[in-house]
Structure 1
Amino acid sequence: MPPSFPGKDDEVLVSGFILLFQRDTAPPDLPLAERMLERLAHRGPEGAALHRVGCAVLGFQHFETTPQDRGVRQPYIAGDLAIVLDGRLDARQELIARLGLPVKAEETFPDVQLLAMAYQRYGEGVAEHLLGDYAFAIFDATRKGVLFGRDPLGNRTLFYARSPHCFAAASEEQALFPLPFVSQDWNEGTIARFFALDGPRPGETFFAEISELPAAHVMWVERGGEQSRRYWHLPPVPTLRLPSDEAYAESFLERFGESVRDRLRSLGRPAVLMSGGLDSTSVAAVAAREGKEIVSISWVFEELTSCDERPFIDLVNERTGNRPIQIAGDDAWPLRDADSWPWNPNTPIDGLYRRLRERVYRRLQAEGCRTLLTGEFGDNLFPGGVDWLADLVEEGRLIEALRSLLWEFRVPERKVPLGAALLRLASALRNRILRADRVPGGIPDPPPRWLTPHAAALLPHGDDQERALRGKRRPVQHESNLGARATCAAAVETFHSSRFDLELRRPFRDPRLVAFLLDIPAHQLYRRGQTKYILRNAMRGILPEPVRRRRKKTSLFPLFRRGIMEEEIETLRRIVGDRNACWRRFVRAEWIEKDVWDLIRAGRDGPGIVVLWQCVCMERWRKGFSNHHPSSGGASK
Structure 2
Amino acid sequence: MEGDVSGFVLILRKDARPPADDLNDKMHQALRIFGTDRGQVVNAGRFTAIWTHDTGYTPQDRFEHQPVMIGTRWLLLFCGFLMHRDELAAKLGVSESEAPRLADSALVALAWEKWGTDCLDHLGGPFSFAVADCERQSVFAARGQERGISLYYHDNAARLILATSTKPIFCDPAVPKAIDELRMADHLVMNHEDKARSFFRDISIVPAGHTFVADPRHYVARRFYSLDRVKDIRFARDDDYVEAARELLEKAVAASMRAPQTPALSLSSGLDSSAIAVTMLGQIAAGRHPFSGPVKAFTAIPAAGWDRIARPGWEGDESAPVRALARHYPALDVEFVSSDDWPYDHGLDLLQSYADVPLAGVGNLHWGLELARHGRKSGARVQLSGSSGNAGLSLATRDILFGQWFRHGRWLNLIREYKAAARHAIPPQGFSLRRMMGAAIVPNLPDWLYDRHQARKGQAMSMLVHSAINPAYAEDLGLAERMAMLGRDQRYRRPRTRRELMRIMVHRGARDNSGAIAEAFKVMSGVQTRDPLGDRRILEFCYAIPDDQFYRDGTDRRLIKRVMAGRLPQEITSARRGEQSADWHSRMARDLPRISAEIERLGDDPAMARRFDLDRIRRCLAQWPAATPVSIADCPDAQFMRFGIGRAIAAARFINSVEGKN
Query: After TM superposition, is the score higher than 0.5?
Result: yes
Gaps of 5+ in 2: 285-291, 309-315, 446-459, 631-637
Q: Are 1:299 and 2:300 an aligned pair?
A: yes
Of residues 42, 57, 66 in structure 1, which corresponds to 2:58? Answer: 66
The alpha-carbon distance between structure 1 residues 501 and 552, as it changes in their structure 2 partners (threshold 3 A), is closer
Query: Which of 46, 53, 57 lines up with 1:55 in the alignment?
Result: 46
**Hey, what's the Cα distance between the residues in 1 that align with 2:421 and 2:167?**
52
- Structural mapping, 1:118-517, within 5 Å: 118-199=111-192, 201-235=194-228, 239-243=232-236, 245-291=238-284, 292-293=292-293, 294-300=295-301, 303=304, 306=308, 307-320=316-329, 321-335=331-345, 343-344=353-354, 346-349=356-359, 351-381=362-392, 382=395, 384-389=397-402, 402-408=415-421, 412=429, 418-419=436-437, 422-423=440-441, 446-449=462-465, 450=467, 451=469, 452-456=471-475, 457-459=477-479, 461=482, 463-466=484-487, 474-517=499-542
| CA distance in 1: counterparts of 2:592 and 2:430, whole angstroms | 35
Say if 1:133 and 1:154, in contact at 8 Å, map to a contact too. Answer: yes
Residue in structure 2 matched with residue 564 of structure 1 by the alignment: 588
Distance (Å, rounded) in 1 between the aligned partners of 2:369 and 2:463? 35
Q: CA deviation at 1:406?
A: 2.5
1: CA distance, partners of 2:22 / 2:222: 32
For residues 566 and 627 of structure 2, what CA distance do their matches in structure 1 show?
Answer: 43
Compute the displacement of 1:131 (Å).
Answer: 0.9
> Contact (CA 8 Å) 1:189, 1:458: kept in 2 or not?
no
Shift of 1:425: 9.9
Query: What's the offset of the Cα at 1:562?
Result: 2.1
User: Deviations for 1:453-480, whole angstroms, at most 9, x for unmatched residues?
Assistant: 3224343535423399999864333212
Pick aligned residue for 1:79 from 71, 93, 97 = 71
2:614 is aligned to: 589
Of 10, 28, 44 in structure 2, the residue corresponding to residue 19 of structure 1 is 10
* Counterpart position of 1:37: 28
- Write the distance in 2 (CA, Å) between the matches of 1:426 and 1:366: 51
Q: Structure 1 residues 209 and 462 mapped into 2: Cα distance closer, same or farther (>3 Å)?
A: closer
Query: Quick one: distance in 2 between partners of 1:128 and 1:339?
Result: 38
Identify if the C-alpha distance between structure 1 residues 335 and 233 changes in structure 2 by more than 3 Å, giving closer, same or farther.
Answer: closer
Q: Deviations over 1:65-84 (max 9, x none)?
A: 21123242212223222221
- Partners in 2 of 1:19 and 1:574 — Cα distance? 43
1:489 & 1:224 partners in 2: Cα distance? Answer: 32
How far, CA to CA, are the matches of 2:229 and 2:114 in structure 1?
A: 31
**C-alpha RMSD over aligned residues:** 3.4
C-alpha distance in structure 2 between counterparts of 1:208 and 1:189, whole Å: 10
Instruction: Please say if residues 237 and 473 of structure 1, whose CA atoms lie closer than 8 Å, have aligned partners that are also in contact.
Output: no
Could you list the structure 1 runs, at least 4 aligned residues long, displaced by more than 6 angstroms after superposition.
Answer: 337-342, 390-400, 424-427, 467-473
8 A Cα contact 1:18 1:58, kept in partner: yes
More moved, 213-222 vs 70-79: 70-79
Retained in 1: the 8 A contact 2:596–2:618? no
Change (3 A) 1:315 1:304: farther
User: Residue 28 of structure 2 contacts residue 50 of structure 2 at CA under 8 Å; is this kept in 1?
Assistant: yes
What fraction of aligned residue pairs are identical, expressed as a percent? 20
1:159, distance to aligned residue in structure 2 (A) = 0.7
User: Residue deviations 1:321-374, cap 9 Å, x none?
Assistant: 133333333232413698988744612216324343343333322333111111
Structure 2 letter corresponding to 1:311? A
CA deviation after TM superposition for structure 1 residue 263, in Å: 0.9
Residue type of the alignment partner of 1:540:
A
- Give the distance between the partners of 1:57 and 1:273, measured in 2 at CA: 39
One-letter identity of the residue aligned with 1:362: R
Say if 2:558 is the partner of 1:525.
no
Q: Distance in 2 between matches of 1:236 and 1:34?
A: 43
After TM superposition, the score normalised by the length of structure 2 is: 0.81
**Count, aligned residues:** 598
Aligned position for 1:440? none
Q: Do the aligned residues in 1 keep the contact of 2:14 with 2:157 (CA within 8 Å)? A: yes
Give the secondary-structure state (helix, strand or coil) at the position aligned to 2:214: strand
Q: Which amino acid aligns with 2:419?
A: L
Deviation at 1:205, TM superposition (A): 0.9
Q: What secondary structure, in the 3-state scheme, does the structure 1 residue paired with 2:537 have?
A: helix
Query: Would you say the 8 A contact 2:266–2:383 is kept in 1?
Result: yes
**TM-superposed deviation, 1:158:** 0.8
SS at match of 2:525: coil
- Post-superposition CA distance 1:169-199 (Å, at most 9, x none): 1111222111222112111121112111233
**In 1, are the aligned partners of 2:77 and 2:105 still within 8 Å (CA)?**
yes
Q: Which of 85-94 and 373-382 deviates more?
A: 373-382
**Contact 2:207/2:512, CA 8 A, preserved across alignment:** no
What are the superposed Cα offsets for residues 13-35 of structure 1, whole Å, 9 maximum, x if unpaired? 71111111112222232221221
Contact 1:404 1:527 in 2 (8 A): yes
Q: Secondary structure at the match of 1:517?
A: helix
SS in 1 for 2:440: helix
**Counterpart position of 1:607:** 639
CA distance in 1, matches of 2:89, 2:409: 43
TM-score, normalization: structure 1?
A: 0.84
Q: State the shift of 1:488 in Å.
A: 1.1
- Partner Cα separation in structure 1 for residue 257 and residue 159 of structure 2: 39
CA distance in 1, matches of 2:438, 2:611: 33
Measure how far apart 1:521 and its partner are: 3.3
Structure 1 residue 623 and structure 2 residue 656: aligned?
A: yes
Contact 1:388 1:521 in 2 (8 A): no
Partner residue of 2:561 out of 536, 551, 555: 536
Name the CA shift for 1:401/1:340 in 2 (closer, same or farther; >3 Å).
closer
Per the alignment, in what secondary structure is the counterpart of residue 331 of structure 1? Answer: coil
In structure 2, distance between residues paired with 1:179 and 1:136: 22
- Indicate conservation of the 8 Å contact 2:193/2:508, yes or no: no
Q: Which amino acid aligns with 1:215?
A: A
Aligned to 1:50, the other structure's residue is in SS state strand
| 3-state SS, counterpart of residue 201 of structure 1 | coil
Q: Which residue of 2 aligns with 1:102?
A: 95
Secondary structure of 1:584 counterpart: helix
Write the deviation string for residues 218-266 of structure 1: whole angstroms up to 9, x where unpaired: 1222223223322112228984344555333332222222222111111
Residue type of the alignment partner of 2:417: S
Distance 1:253 1:472 in 2: 25
Unmatched runs of 5 consecutive residues or more in structure 1:
1-11, 428-443
Give 1:319 shift.
Answer: 3.2
Aligned residue identity for 2:645: L
Q: Deviations over 1:485-515 (max 9, x none)?
A: 1221343143123322211111222212222
> C-alpha separation between the residues in 2 aligned to 1:561 and 1:592?
15
Deviation at residue 392 of structure 1 after TM alignment: 7.3
* CA separation of 1:580 and 1:412: change in aligned 2, threshold 3 A: farther
Residues 217 and 313 (structure 1), Cα distance of their counterparts in 2 relative to 1, 3 Å cut: same
| Distance of aligned partners of 1:542 and 1:574 in 2 relative to their CA distance in 1, 3 Å threshold | same
Is the 1:89–1:134 contact (alpha carbons within 8 Å) kept by the matching residues of 2? yes
- Give SS of 1:499's match: helix
